[in-house]
Chains A and B, each alone.
Chain A
Amino acid sequence: MRIDAQRHIGVVSEPRVVEVERGFLKFFAKATGETNPIYFDEEAARAAGHPDIPMPPTYMFSLQLSAPAAVGDVFDPVNGMGIDMRRVLHGEESFTYHQPVYAGDRLELVTTTTDIYEKKGGALQFIVQETRCTNSDQILCIEARQVTVARNG
């Protein structure tokens, strides 16, 4: 099913408030085979000068998935793009960091669909989405950019 680019480009999600859950950061460290204890042990994190367990560099993507947007989500068939999960690929991912994030922080995420373009005569569609993550002081912490690929062919 081809995505209607005109309908979705420029759509901005509602703000989603998420908490960086300590248990999930420890689970993430286990699942990724992390051996640096600052990523799963509060004491080790504090001994290394951090206020708590740091959120690892790619976990921003998981925060986004933990709170899918009601408006503009790539999978949502009603208020989003309705991409078939059998035909999806992750094309690109980028992060820009402004402020460190730690376990227990409450963050707000806002996602904008900035572009949708095609290759191979529409057999592949590339959805570009940018997400801004701000903390409870309204300070920008992380910007994420992702390209999701839908295989229509």
Chain B
Amino acid sequence: MADAVMTVPETVFEGQELPEHICGPIDRTILALFAGASHDHVKLHIDSDFAKGAGMDDVFAHGMLVMAYLGQFLTRWRPQQNIRKWSTRFVAITPVHATIHCRGRIAEIIEQDGERLARVKLGAWTDKDVQTVDGEALVALG
């Protein structure tokens, strides 16, 4: 046994913090690429003249870019096919140049339809510690 590599099953418990996922800083190139790749051409995110004309300080990130980062946060923890459902609220604008910290913790472990699921409270914060997205996911523990 001395040299055997033991596979220790991952312990999952209520209150557990999931590994943080840090993305960015979100520069203007990322916003341009994301606009093209995501089909979201709202000019507030890619044209600073337009954004200023609309009364904003500058362009700001697509909410769905930050939600995509939160998706990565989840799929780094469990495979995508384990995500049953999730929802987010965009609670503040994510400014250009922000670095995004995706964080979450297991709020509850439940049984539903014969499946063991984690209810994960998750969110995104800028490097200035402003929360921009608040959400919740239901993920099968398998």
Within 8 A of A (CB), among B9-40: 23, 30, 33-34, 36-40
Cβ of A78 to closest chain B Cβ, rounded Å: 19
Q: Are A96 and B75 in contact (CB under 8 A)?
A: no
Contacts across chains A and B counted by CB atoms under 8 Å: 105
Q: Are A94 and B87 in contact (CB under 8 A)?
A: yes
Q: Give the interface residue-count category, chain B.
A: 35 or more
Q: Provide the A23-41 mask, 1 if CB < 8 A to any CB of B, else 0.
A: 0100110111110100000
Q: Give the interface residue-count category, chain A.
A: 20 to 34
Q: Are B81 and A94 in contact (CB under 8 A)?
A: no
Binds A, one of B42-50, B105-113, B118-126: B42-50
Cβ of B43 to closest chain A Cβ, rounded Å: 6
Q: Are A33 and B90 in contact (CB under 8 A)?
A: no
Q: Are B38 and A65 in contact (CB under 8 A)?
A: yes
Within 8 A of B (CB), among A26-78: 27-28, 30-34, 36, 54, 56-59, 61-62, 65-66
Binds B, one of A2-10, A84-92, A110-118: A84-92
**Nearest B-chain residue to A64, judged by Cβ:** B39
The residue that B43 contacts in the complex, of A32, A57, A85, with Cβ under 8 A, is A85
If the complex has contacts A86-B53, A92-B88, A94-B87, are A57 and B38 also in contact, measured as CB distance less than 8 A?
no
Q: Are A57 and B34 in contact (CB under 8 A)?
A: no
Q: Are B71 and A94 in contact (CB under 8 A)?
A: no
If the complex has contacts A32-B72, A86-B53, A91-B90, are A56 and B80 also in contact, measured as CB distance less than 8 A?
yes
**Contact residues in A for B74 (Cβ distance below 8 Å):** 57
Q: Are A93 and B36 in contact (CB under 8 A)?
A: no
- Cα distance A28–B71 when bound, in Å? 13
Within 8 A of A (CB), among B33-87: 33-34, 36-44, 50, 53-55, 62-65, 67-69, 71-72, 74-76, 80-81, 83-87
Q: What are 19 A-B contacts with C-beta separation under 8 Å?
A: A30-B33, A31-B33, A32-B23, A32-B37, A33-B30, A36-B76, A54-B80, A56-B80, A57-B75, A57-B83, A61-B40, A65-B39, A65-B41, A90-B63, A93-B90, A94-B85, A97-B81, A100-B80, A145-B87
Additional 12 contacts, C-beta under 8 A, given A31-B36, A66-B39: A30-B33, A31-B38, A33-B30, A36-B76, A61-B38, A62-B38, A65-B38, A85-B42, A86-B54, A94-B88, A96-B85, A100-B81
